[in-house]
Structure 1
Amino acid sequence: MLENDQQKKYDIPVSFRYDPFFKNRETFLDYSCLNISETIDHEPFYYDMLVLQSQQEKPWESPNKYVPLLFEKWKQRVPKINNAFAKRKINAETNELMIHCISLFIISLYWSNNSSVKSLNIEDANILKNKIKPINVEERLLFIIKNYTKFHSFSQLKQLFIEHEKAFYKKAAIDKLKNR
């Protein structure tokens, strides 16, 4: 069923049309027939873009359920990227994988703060308003996006994920204690 001519398409919102995420694309496909894990594999910003078009499903309203899924997807992809950099065999597939992983990080950053991603323009995205976030996340993320083909960006992304995951689970533990 996926990616055929009959499948419904939506316009990518202007606020999401930033390189390297959506170069040469103006639409995204309807993946409503898939579960959230499969949908994120195909189109990481699917739910965030669709909510701007009145989509009902809002995974950021249940961060304890969905953010760990994003962390797991990241961890599944790390060995492949690590291997490509170790062998110095960076190709289009590796670059796409890096873009996907950067997308996973951005989504995890917003969803963990009960918010959807509203823009991929990092400088205008109000990342600093998020309570759960790594230190200097905006500057670090800008560097990673501009240099996603470089090993140092991959290293920085790994560090951001580690810091963010710790902050996320710390907040979850505190919330759990408060609700006792």
Structure 2
Amino acid sequence: MDNPAENVSTLLKEWEDVKIRLEQLFRERDQKNAKGWMEKGIALFIQFLYYTNEESTTPSDSIPFQQFYFKPVNIEERLGFIMDRPGLYHSYRQLSELMVEQEKLFVKKAIVKKSSRPKA
């Protein structure tokens, strides 16, 4: 995790591409293809969650939500819903909201971290 801000910038650009594709697929009611793109979006969100909390991602079935300080409210229930039903438009909307909330938390963390540095 060399530069978290750079990694997040790249991740958010990738999310924008995924989001545009998902909007098109849901507009066309193409749930089958939307599912694959949703899985990519979910993976990006999980990666973002780890970056924000300065944790390294480890490929495992369970996400250690309790060890994350910067996370959206009700993350376990919301992400569980999305992962159980990736083909639903409602899941896409929820994932989009989680990305927005996580981005705000990332910015908040950066501000807190910057203000807590000792002055030169």
**TM-score over 0.5 for the alignment?**
yes
Q: Quickly say closer, same or farther: Cα 1:120–1:85, change in 2 above 3 A.
A: farther
Paired-residue identity, %: 31
Shift of 1:129: 1.3
Partner of 1:159: 97
Partner of 2:64: 126
Partner of 2:40: 100
TM-score (norm 2): 0.88
> Structure 2: 5+ residue runs without aligned partners?
none
CA RMSD across the alignment: 1.6
Alignment pair present for 1:111 and 2:74:
no
Structure 1 residue corresponding to 2:21, chosen from 76, 80, 93: 80
Q: Is the 8 A contact 2:18 2:40 kept in 1?
A: no
Partner of 1:89: 30
The letter of the residue matching 2:30 is K
TM-score (norm 1): 0.61
Shift of 1:142: 0.8
Shift of 1:88: 1.1
**Aligned with 2:57: secondary structure?**
coil
Instruction: Write out the 4+ residue segments of structure 1 that deviate beyond 3 Å after TM superposition.
Output: none
Point out which structure has higher relative CO (alpha carbons under 8 A, 6+ apart): 2
Q: Is the 8 A contact 2:70 2:106 kept in 1?
A: yes
Bigger Cα Rg: 1
Shift of 1:85: 0.7
1:120-178 per-residue CA deviation (whole Å, 9 max, x = no partner) reads 42xx4211211111111111111100100111110100000000000101110121222
> Structure 1: 5+ residue runs without aligned partners?
1-58
- Most deviating of 72-81 and 149-158: 72-81
Cα distance between partner residues in 2 of 1:63 and 1:113: 10
The letter of the residue matching 2:113 is D
Shift of 1:82: 0.8
Name whichever structure is richer in helix by fraction: 2
1:4-55 per-residue CA deviation (whole Å, 9 max, x = no partner) reads xxxxxxxxxxxxxxxxxxxxxxxxxxxxxxxxxxxxxxxxxxxxxxxxxxxx
- Count of aligned positions: 118
